Structure 1
Amino acid sequence: MPRKATAALAAVLLAVTLAACGGDSEDQTGAITVWTEENLPDRMNAQKAVIADFTRETGIRVELVGVAEDQFSQLVTSAAAAGTLPDVIGALPLASVREMEAADLLDTETPGRIVQSLGRDSFSARALELVSTDGTLLAVPSDGWAQLILYRKDLFEKAGLEPPDTYERLRTAAERLNGDGMAGITLGIAPRDPFTAQSFEHIALANGCELVDGSGNVTLDSPQCVRAFQFYSDLIRDHSVKGAQNLDSTRATYFSGKAAMTVWSSFILDELAGLRNDTLPSCAECRTDRGWLAENTGVVTALRGPDASEPAQYGEIVSWAIPREADTEAAERFVTYMMDEGYERWIGMAPEGKFPTRTMFRDRWASLPAGVDDKRPLSEVYPAEVIDALRTGTDSFDRWGIPQGQGKLAGAIMGELPVPKALAAVVNGSQTPQAAAARAKADVETIKRGIR
């Protein structure tokens, strides 16, 4: 889960109106409203700076509104009913794009023009695919973040273990390294935490477990999914930290040096490197060397299970969306600017969680400084092979439901969280993996029937 989601609880709606620097320009064309889910204070300030340059160049004034991710559905529904939708929405996750598509709230012509004008070949093909329906672009994909498996390289080398890039290698490492105050792995299992859903989806996709088939039928009781339920629950029950571990506790356990592995989003990478004072690694070695844990951490991007033909990785693509009633001309100019002249500063707000969807910026991305209190390019912290895998990650991201045209269902289950609840039942022993998979399928089918 991205760090912005954890901050969403603190702020539902933050509005900042940017004065029209250069507002006397002959090119003055009025004002637009832009919602952004990049609503942390430092990122709002970074966007204000880019927008001020946009206004100076075009004369278009921008009202920037920070929107909390967990409040988006309610806000967009209310705004649509009141006729007050913004002209542009930024950093919009895949499920939210599909939610707006289902409600017929999207301008589906302008995104295609923007991508065409910038050069379709300059975009990650997979990113474009994930925000398209039958070849029609619903939004302009701006960047992405990835789910990762982090592991202690020093412990693996000492034990003669291979990197945990398959179910078998991951299980073997968790068994071997568990004990003497060290958990083999720390995984999210809190039943009401979206982080658990994201972590499991990463593990499940690796085994070919899909939410739905090509016809939209829910398939969570497939053999691939049952095995994923079994594998995930076994890791937690036998080799993880006891209790309902969540986003914060899994990070804290790994940072304290008390877990050999964890599954977390790429937003952890600057924290792991000791570049944020509010979330510093706390292991014994880290007290004298902030970068020790990063230097001794390996990163696995894609995982493969025994029932899958190839590795898979959970990833999120966020986009610029333009609602149907927008000031189309001004919105098009704004999004084009943010994906071109302003793009380096956009992805530079948090390089660890903003992998470029425009391929021409991948080399530059690797040298952008990450962090808050201390800043260093990720390429100075992590090996070249890790950086290469991260910056090209948007080419291979996978997600439940979205490729099959069930994006609104994918979004709905992140609200209801039927899968984490089923997983928790396996871990506490009240259900078998088979029964839990069947329960999750039934619950998702119920959710699906309730979607308009």
Structure 2
Amino acid sequence: MGKKHSLAAVIVTAAVAMTACGGGGTGAAEQKELNVWFNDPGPKLQDTVKTLITGFEKSHQGVKVNLRFIGGADTHQQFVTAIAGGAPPCVATLGNTWTPEFAQMGALAPVDLTPDQAKQKFVGSMVDSVTNDGKIYGYPYNVANRALVYRKDLLEKSGLEVPKTWDETKAAAKKLAADNKADGVAGFGIVGGEIWYYLPMVWNWGGEIATRQADGKWQATMNTPQAKAAFDFYASMVRDDKVAPAESAGWLGPDAVQSLSLGKVAMGLYGPWQVKSLVAQKPELKDKLGVALIPNGPGGNNDTFAGGSNLVIFNQCQYKEDATALLHYMVQPENVTKYTSGIGMLPAGLDGMKAEAETGSFADDLYRPFVEQAKHTRYIPTDPGWGRIEGKGSIINAMQALIGGKSDVNTTMSDLNTEMNAAFGG
């Protein structure tokens, strides 16, 4: 999800297996069944999902939804196996980094939106994740992005303003680390074990992760001066400046959250779901925390990655009209916000996002900057080989090599570029 985001992408799936497509009989009175798989969000949100599904059934007589909660490391493989076996889901919410893969496999059906219509209804970066060859293969459902989270009290004590550029961020981190050395507080908490915290910095430096060629193929651009400078800057906060804990080279998102919870970092990049969870566990921290937009880089932008999930319809779905009705129902602002508020993410629909920002859980001053940051998001290259890049850990390995000083930046980024191009061409 990060996104894939660090939360292990929330996945909502509505599916009709081949045996269920025919229902329980024949004729006009046949009941149509949609089997729904939903990544287990915990007992409280399970009830929210059940209530939403019940509402859909009441408003769509003759359609029965069988709800099943799924999840875990093998979720992606469950979809692959179902497709290969000729019994894929009918409607599914896929992590947005998976959607291009399944669309390009021919497993997904186009939905009832043109690209222009989709851009008017949903966050643009999420629309990019469902666009393939000029067609739209899903409804963006929720969006997950990070912003700069900082300790207001520590910045005030050090006489610092909230940094607006990456250079200002490093300077502030140095002072925060020095001023709070006795308490063991790091100036900035990096997350070396998850690419979504630092890969977008390539954009901040004015570079691209990869570019699409005239023949439609993707070409990696991680060996450019911008990409090298962005990665080396992030690594240097641990390697050279010592403003981040040495162990943060291998941190995942939860490690960074725990460090913030324990008062051991003064600043870092976090998602709203992480901040909401932290405040729920330690309410006394809320007044000490502030959220701001991600710092601008030398490239003049503060764009970051948009993680999240998309509602899609699989090609073999017999009941596409009812599947489309389910998509419409799930993304209605009054419905999607009931779920996204609980998981601490934003609706991917612009109307739902507006409702959250004005009167919902993101109306709070602490969380409102995440809404603005969502407007400054981009999507990764839509090549199906991206999954191989993630799975192999190529980008993480490059960052950790830089942090550890095991390889110079030119060699490291050149090797990374070669690995990525091999995956794109595979």
Would the aligned equivalents of 2:103 and 2:132 in 1 still touch at CA under 8 Å? no
Q: Is the 8 A contact 1:220 1:440 kept in 2?
A: yes
Q: What is aligned with 1:103?
A: 105
> How big is the shift at 1:368?
6.6
SS of 2:140's partner is strand
1:275-333 superposed Cα distances (whole Å, 9 cap, x missing partner): 2xxxx34xxxxxxxx23x22222223333222x13221222142101000112122011
Matches within 5 A, 1:88-237: 88-90=91-93, 92-108=94-110, 110-112=111-113, 121-178=120-177, 179-180=181-182, 181-190=184-193, 196-215=194-213, 216-237=218-239
Normalising by structure 2, we get a TM-score of 0.84
**Secondary structure of the structure 2 residue equivalent to 1:84:** coil
Closer, same or farther: CA 7–188 of 1 in aligned 2, 3 Å:
closer
Shift of 1:48: 1.0
Residue 105 of structure 1 deviates from its aligned partner by 0.4
Cα distance change on mapping 1:150 and 1:2 into 2, 3 Å: same
1:216-295 alignment, distance < 5 Å: 216-237=218-239, 238-243=242-247, 244-273=250-279, 275=280, 280-281=281-282, 290-291=283-284, 293-295=285-287
Q: Which deviates more, 125-134 or 295-304?
A: 125-134
**SS in structure 2 of the partner of residue 318 of structure 1:** strand
Match of 1:411 among 366, 369, 387: 387
The 3-state SS of whatever aligns with 1:342 is helix
Answer yes or no: is the 8 Å Cα contact 1:28–1:58 preserved in 2. no
Question: Residue 378 of structure 2 is aligned with which of 398, 403, 410?
Answer: 398
**CA offsets per residue over residues 8-27 of structure 1, 9 Å max, x none?**
69x9x9x9xxxxxxx9xx99
SS in 2 for 1:171: helix
Gaps spanning 5+ residues in structure 1: where?
A: 16-22, 191-195, 282-289, 370-376
The match for 1:52 is 54
CA offset at residue 120 of structure 1? Answer: 6.8
TM-score w.r.t. length of structure 1: 0.79
Provide closer, same or farther for how the CA distance between residues 393 and 319 of structure 1 changes in structure 2, counting only shifts above 3 A.
farther
State the shift of 1:213 in Å. Answer: 1.6
The whole-number CA distance in structure 1 between the counterparts of 2:378 and 2:38 is 24
- Deviation string, structure 1 residues 194-215 (Cα, Å, up to 9, x no partner): xx21111133332123221232
8 Å CA contact 2:401–2:412 kept in 1: the answer is yes
Which AA in structure 1 matches 2:252? N
Aligned pairs for 1:64-79 (under 5 A) are 64-68=67-71, 70-79=73-82
Secondary structure of the corresponding residue to residue 234 of structure 2: helix
CA contact (8 A) 1:124 1:357 kept: yes
CA deviations over 1:333-369 (Å, ceiling 9, x no partner): 111111226333233332x21x123322334314677
State the SS of the aligned residue for 2:304.
coil
Are the counterparts in 2 of residues 188 and 199 from structure 1 also a CA contact under 8 Å? yes
Give the Cα–Cα distance (whole angstroms) in 1 for the partners of residues 191 and 385 of structure 2.
22
Give the corresponding residue for 2:42. Answer: 40
Residues 1:336 and 2:328 are matched in the alignment = yes
Contact 1:162 1:169 in 2 (8 A): no
Q: Residues of 2 paired with 1:246 and 1:96: CA distance? A: 21
Structure 1 residues 222 and 105: alpha-carbon distance in aligned structure 2, compared to 1, 3 A threshold: same
Q: 1:99 offset after TM fit, Å?
A: 1.0
Counterpart of 2:312, as a letter, is A
The structure-2 alpha-carbon separation of the partners of 1:107 and 1:434, relative to structure 1 and needing over 3 Å to count, comes to same
SS in 2 for 1:213: strand
State the distance in 2 between where 1:417 and 1:151 align. 29
Cα offsets for 1:4-44 (capped at 9, x unmatched): 987869x9x9x9xxxxxxx9xx9974111223346434333
CA distance in 1: counterparts of 2:91 and 2:189, whole angstroms: 39
Question: Following the alignment from structure 1 to structure 2, what is the Cα–Cα distance between the partners of residues 8 and 302?
Answer: 22
- For the Cα contact (< 8 Å) 2:221–2:417, is it kept in 1? yes
Change (3 A) 1:207 1:4: closer
Residues 204 and 228 in structure 1, CA contact (< 8 A), matched pair in contact too: yes
| Counterparts of 1:348 and 1:248, CA distance in 2 | 20
Structure 2 spans left out of the alignment, 5+ residues: 16-23
1:363 and 1:448, CA in 2 relative to 1: closer, same or farther beyond 3 A? Answer: closer
The answer (yes or no) to whether the contact 2:356–2:362 under 8 Å persists in 1 is: no
Check if 1:297 corresponds to 2:289. yes
Q: Which residue of 1 aligns with 2:304?
A: 313
> Which amino acid in structure 1 is aligned with residue 166 of structure 2?
Y
SS in 2 for 1:35: strand
2:342 counterpart SS class: coil
Q: CA RMSD in A?
A: 3.1
Contact 1:203 1:303 in 2 (8 A): no
From the superposition, tell whether residues 43 and 359 of structure 1 become closer, same or farther in structure 2 (CA, over 3 Å).
same
Structure 2: how far apart are the matches of 1:96 and 1:47?
22
Amino acid in the other structure paired with 2:380 = W
Match of 1:349 in 2: 342
CA separation in 2, counterparts of 1:3 and 1:317? 6
Determine the C-alpha separation between the residues in 2 that align with 1:209 and 1:36. Answer: 37
Alignment length (residue pairs): 398
